[in-house]
Amino acid sequence: MRTSEPMSQQSSGFIEYDELFIGGAWGRPASAARLTLTSASTEEPLGSVPVADEADVDRAVAAAVSAFDQSGGWPSWEPARRAAAMRSLADQLEARAPEMARRVSSQNGMPIALSQMAEARTPIVTLRYYADLIERLPAEEERPGVRGGTTVVRQEPIGVAAAIAPWNYPQTLAAAKYAPALAAGCPVVLKPSPETLLDAFLFAEAVAASDLPPGVINIVPGGREIGAYLVAHPGVDKVAFTGSTAAGRQIAETCGRMLRPATLELGGKSAAIILEDADLNLPEIRQSLVRATLGNNGQTCFISTRILAPRSRYEEIVDTIATLVSSLTIGDALDPATQIGPLVSRIHRDRVEGCIAKGEAEGARLVTGGRRPPRLTRGWFVEPTVFADVDNRSTIAQEEIFGPVLSLIPYADVDDAVRIANESNYGLGGSVWTSDPRRGREVANRVSTGTIGINRYLPDTGAPFGGVKNSGIGRELGPEGLAAYRQIKSIFT
């Protein structure tokens, strides 16, 4: 529909951008600062992009405020018109899906088979889901008054939304914020993670080519300082963040002082409870079990990295998990055969290796993995690792590692398993494995968590996602995700 093309070039696979996408147009950033993105698989440079400074954030917020406040602006568009514009963005993302998957996997190490499903497809599904939702859900209703009269209850857009996305699922988790925000009528200022920016610029190209009006989506790449500045900006009305619990607490403190609503999806240390009757036939459950416990090389907040096994079958289950993990193909993230790719960076690999060393020092039994793959001399690789005989009070059982490290913990009976699962500061995901789905549901009901699966774990766009305890506040996805970007007005008649 629009304006200038990005000043970018690609030669020999190296991608360069010189402009930022703010206010519906590409333009020079206020600062000359740049970031170079590096391949997690090869350690080679992938591209170079500009980063925003505070002046760029000011411009982005101002553009979003204008898109919200101006006569005929985004909130005033009829739901069907907003939905059509959102579907046009979905179409533009669909046209870029193969390249989006490639860029994400190159940067953060996500196996390309997963990236093609999650990072290339899920944002498209999410946009179309919310476009459909606003066309069928009325924004207001009439209620008979208890004391007579009638009350009109209106759901109105909350205002400008600041969306801060992480590097592990950068496009999927960004879409979980901007899609419901757009549906509600809220313009967005998106801050992507500095570890994954090449995909964010490709997303900006899709926005520029879509039917969204200027200022409805603005992108300000940068680090923690830019994120903190955006969160505290007086022009922002709502914050949505996915990331660490430590960063979430800082955002919550800022938003609390400003009486600004925030949705925070934070860390996790989820438990997979394997019941005595579970059928662990690996050919049948292999894909579901790997996805639930080691998804994205362990770089997933909700995965069940604590595996709780009954003492009556403990060594059998240890052997089964070890067999599964040691059979996984480790390799370049862009190889379709890869099941475990590299971690996102050298710093992150060093941290994961430190956690593995801590597990050994605290007395856990290292069953398989725990080192760098000998044949892979470049890239940030760590073998998927299994510890047995883990004390639930130990560091590796209580702290989020965010890598391919599993802790097997024995339990006496179901009550003991539920107790162990709930003895965590987190409560984001989890799973129950059983041959009796009804019994699995009964156990799942007792686990203190925001989400849980039975014989699998796979979040659904139409269902609310989020955590309890240190795993966050609020919910994304589903109708509840749309409600997070609306405020309620009662009109008494």
* CA of residue 309 relative to chain centroid, distance: 28
List the catalytic residue out of 195, 265, 353, 400: 265
Q: Is 189 left (phi over 0), alpha (psi -120 to 50) or beta?
A: beta
Positive or negative torsion for Cα 425, 427, 428, 431:
positive
Q: In terms of Cα–Cα distance, which of 184, 234, 240 is closest to 488?
A: 184
Residue 320's alpha-carbon distances to 274, 283, 295, 324, in angstroms, are 12, 11, 18, 6
Q: Torsion angle of alpha carbons 95, 98, 104, 105, nearest 10°?
A: 170
Based on the residue annotation, tell me whether 265 is a catalytic residue of this protein.
Answer: yes
Tokens of 253: 């403190």
Distance between CA atoms of 392 and 240, rounded to whole angstroms? Answer: 32
Which H helix or E strand runs over 271?
strand 271-274
Which is it for strands 34-38 and 472-473: parallel, antiparallel or unpaired? unpaired
Q: Report whether 203 contacts 93 (CB < 8 A).
A: yes
What is the Cα–Cα distance from 409 to 284, expressed in whole angstroms?
A: 23
- How far is the C-alpha of 347 from the C-alpha of 118, rounded, in Å? 25
Residue 161 to residue 392: CA distance in whole angstroms: 39
Query: What is the Cα 285 distance to its own chain's centre?
Result: 24
Annotated active-site residue 99? The verdict is: no
Unique residue bearing structure tokens 């597990």: 359
> Looking at 205, 301, 383, 400, which residue is catalytic?
301
Distance CA 410, CA 421 (A): 11
Among residues 466, 462, 458, the alpha carbon closest in space to that of 129 is found at 462
- How many Cα atoms occupy the beta-carbon half-sphere of 436 within 13 Å? 7
Catalytic residue numbers read 265, 301
